[in-house]
Structures are given as C-alpha cells and as structure tokens.
Structure 1
C-alpha cells in the first residue's frame, strides 16, 4: 500500500467529513442510541474490517465508540483507511450514530 501525501489526505477527508486527522491516523467518534446498538455497530464494523483485511482501533465507552484508522504496515495513511472510514460512516448512519 502506498502512503498518501498531505494533499491526498485532505482531499479524501473531504469525502468523510466526520473524520479528522491526528498525525498518521484518522479518527471519529460514533454515539449510538444505547449500549446494545453500539455493540451491533462494532460487530458490523468487524465484519467489514475482515472483508477488507484492515482493522480499526476501537475504544468502547458505554454507547460511545472512538475509532482510529491507520495502515500500520505502511507507516501511515493509505487508501484502505478511507475505504473503511466510508463504510464505517454507512454503518453508523444505519444505526443512528
């Protein structure tokens, strides 16, 4: 996977406006209506992550999920991060988050 340069990262971030860049990661917080829904969101993210062979860091705090994406093997952000970010946005939206 090729690392993205700063201009590519800015361009791709425009397509996933809920995400923000922090160094070599992009991050987003999702708030679900309740704890069981938050766990369903995590389950669906896990399925997509497995399909893409690209896995986010997820911190679960009751109904709030803190998500971080980076491509560890490449040492920074790649297109895979933005592909999964867009899919996470779809999952979150489907569950009211």
Structure 2
C-alpha cells in the first residue's frame, strides 16, 4: 500500500471525528465507564483487524483505550489506516 501525501492525509483526517494525526500515526483515545467495558471494546477490535490484516497498536489504562494506526511496512499512513479508523469508530 502506498503512503499518502500530506494533503491526502489532511483530507482523510477531516472526515474522521476525534482522531488526530501525530507524525506518521493516526490516534484516538476512547473512554469507557470502567475497565471491563474498555476490554470489551478491545475484544471487538480483534475480528475487523484480523479480517483486514491491519492491526492497531493499543494502550489500555483502566477505562481508556488509546488506538494508534500506522502502516509499519509502508513507513507511515496509508489508505488502510483510515479505513481501519472508520471501522473502529463504527464499533
């Protein structure tokens, strides 16, 4: 998958709410009622990530889950990252 240009990244990012572009990463923190709900959310990520062959980096801190997307093999942001962000946002 090809890296997106700066203008393509800005265009794609403008279509996502609550996601930010930080360098070569797309990032969002989700907040839940408690740890159990946070883990349930993480478990919901497994199937779509496996199906897409695109796995997010995750950080869990009690009721917060930070999701970071980047295409490691491409060295930055690609269309796959933004598609996965849309999928995750819809959960």
Pairwise same-fold verdict (TM > 0.5): yes
Following superposition, the deviation at residue 16 of structure 1 comes to: 0.9
**Structure 1 outlier segments of 4+, above 2 Å:** none
| Counterpart residue number, 1:7 | 7
- Give a deviation string over 1:31-85, Cα, whole Å, max 9, x none: 0121111111101112110010000000000010011100001010000000110
Q: How does 1:1-97 map to 2 (within 5 A)?
A: 1-91=1-91
Unaligned runs of at least 5 residues, structure 1: 92-97
Q: What is the alpha-carbon root mean square deviation over aligned residues?
A: 0.7
CA distance in 1, matches of 2:17, 2:7: 15
Following superposition, the deviation at residue 14 of structure 1 comes to: 1.1
CA distance in 2, matches of 1:2, 1:20: 20
Number of residues of Structure 1 aligned to a counterpart in Structure 2: 91
Unaligned runs of at least 5 residues, structure 2: none
CA distance in 2, matches of 1:53, 1:88: 14
Following superposition, the deviation at residue 15 of structure 1 comes to: 1.2
CA distance in 1, matches of 2:15, 2:40: 24
